[in-house]
Amino acid sequence: MSDTVEVSLRKGKGTRESQRLRKQGLVPAILYGHGEKCVDLSAKREAVEAAVRHGSRVVNLTGAVKTSALVRELQWDTYGVQPIHIDFLRVSASDRIRVKVPVHLKGECPGQRAGGLVNLVQHEVDLECTADHVPEFVYANIGHLELGHTIKVKDLELLHGAKPGGDPDETVVTCTLPGKKTEEVAAPTGGIEPEVIGRKAAEEGEAEAGKE
């Protein structure tokens, strides 16, 4: 179930206005997409933080606007403690979107009983799915992972309709002897700009200066 975030229209712009909103416990935001005009908004910090804790990629906006929206980008303060700006992208339930989803291990690895160590190479993977079926996480079943073997993106347990957003042969989990490295190294994801929630610390000054 998607989190609900109540938003209000934001009339003022600029650094001072953004600072004023933050002192009031609000997070400046912007909504765009689907060929409609951009709307300047603000949301309660507690609601934004709750959505992040719950791992929500798609939220239901209420209040000044009513729509489903993807959290396209979330910027944090220098210390990564408080959200300072959020970008919402309008989506419908049938829209296919690309997200970065955490990987959880499941099962007992037989390779460990042979003296191996399980290494989670990729803590997150890129997936393509519909906006109404964004998984909170995906499982890597290590119940059959033998010593010296690997689990790739294509081996993960994906929800129906979801598919890898990057290289399906990218290594996610390995089982190797201590001090040994697998011959196969996970290739970096190139050329992909996943639409995700990410902890991005603000750059010097106001990170949103270019927006307002």
Report the CATH number that the domain containing residue 24 is assigned in CATH: 2.40.240.10
Instruction: Let me know if residue 181 belongs to a domain.
Output: no
Query: Within this chain, do residues 77 and 112 fall inside the same structural domain, yes or no?
Result: no
Question: In whole angstroms, what is the distance from residue 204 CA to residue 27 CA?
Answer: 18
Residue numbers of the domain that contains 58? 3-91+195-201
Query: Within this chain, do residues 101 and 84 fall inside the same structural domain, yes or no?
Result: no
What is residue 99's predicted lDDT score, i.e. its pLDDT? Answer: 87
- pLDDT reading at 35 higher than 90: no
Highest mean pLDDT among 4-13, 128-137, 191-200 belongs to 4-13
How many helices (H) and strands (E) in the chain?
3, 14
45-93 per-position pLDDT tens digit: 999 999 988 888 889 999 999 999 999 899 999 998 999 999 999 998 8
Name the DSSP letter for residue 21. Answer: H
* Cβ neighbours of residue 201 closer than 8 Å, sequence gap 6 or more: 75, 76, 77, 78, 79, 80
Q: Is the pTM of this model over 0.85?
A: no
Per-residue pLDDT band for 184 (boundaries 50, 70, 90) equals very low
Domain count, the chain: 2
- Of the two residues 203 and 62, the one the predictor is more confident about is 62
The neighbouring-strand residues paired with 74 are 86
Question: In whole angstroms, what is the distance from residue 32 CA to residue 28 CA?
Answer: 14
Instruction: Let me know if residue 41 belongs to a domain.
Output: yes
Instruction: Let me know if residue 143 belongs to a domain.
Output: yes
Question: In whole angstroms, what is the distance from residue 128 CA to residue 100 CA?
Answer: 9
Instruction: Let me know if residue 184 belongs to a domain.
Output: no
Residue 162 in tokens:
């979801």
Please state the separation of Cα 115 from the chain's center in Å.
34
